[in-house]
Structure 1
């Protein structure tokens, strides 16, 4: 599991990825995690099966390598855990969930 401190430090680590798997309307209601890439959970498998060029065009960042460090976040941690497990089944080896997700982030940011 990823910690709040790890997620907060993501902008300082350009080789790490933070994916927010909430739906777009949830992001509009709450805000976004800094340096996160939004791929709603229902679209995740399709996104990670895109060719590298298409992934970059769609999400504005190079597709993660098989061993890239990835953290998944959602609202309260459930979808993040499912996303990390799904990505592992696709062969990616360094995926983990941010258990606290947006709920913890918002509390610790004092908003």
Structure 2
């Protein structure tokens, strides 16, 4: 099943958000889902676009998303979806592009919104 070093928990994400100024949280859900609510500070890159967008050079990525493209060894690259499955797939895609420490917030937006009372 899920490989634990690739998945982070709600509490992991909360502490990353407090400690890491470089955290890049990528929401890979559909635009409709994101429009209904999102984790503050996340950027939206639908799952089908992950490979294309993370293949952009650093300048183009920054221009498009308004945030620096993470370094390949960044420990601050986290993907999430609604329930965990697409986030896991996005994490695998990022890892295949060389982002070897990319991780998935396995609880997804569903857990976040439940815990945050949204």
- TM-score bracket for this pair, using the shorter chain length: over 0.9
Alpha-carbon distance in 1 for matches of 2:56, 2:33: 24
- Aligned: 1:22 with 2:25: no
Q: Give the alignment's TM-score, normalised by structure 2.
A: 0.87
How far is 1:81 from its partner?
0.3
Show structure 2 runs of 5+ residues with no match.
Answer: 1-6
Please say if residues 18 and 35 of structure 1, whose CA atoms lie closer than 8 Å, have aligned partners that are also in contact.
Answer: yes
Task: Provide the residue aligned with 1:108 in structure 2.
Answer: 115
Alpha-carbon distance in 2 for matches of 1:35, 1:10: 12
How many residue pairs get aligned? The number is: 110
Task: Provide the residue aligned with 1:96 in structure 2.
Answer: 103
SS at match of 1:50: coil
SS at match of 2:74: coil
Task: Provide the residue aligned with 1:63 in structure 2.
Answer: 69
Task: Provide the residue aligned with 1:73 in structure 2.
Answer: 80
How far is 1:58 from its partner?
0.5
Deviates more, 1:4-13 or 1:80-89: 4-13
Q: Give the alignment's TM-score, normalised by structure 1.
A: 0.92
Task: Provide the residue aligned with 2:57 in structure 1.
Answer: 51
Alpha-carbon distance in 1 for matches of 2:16, 2:64: 21
How far is 1:24 from its partner?
1.5
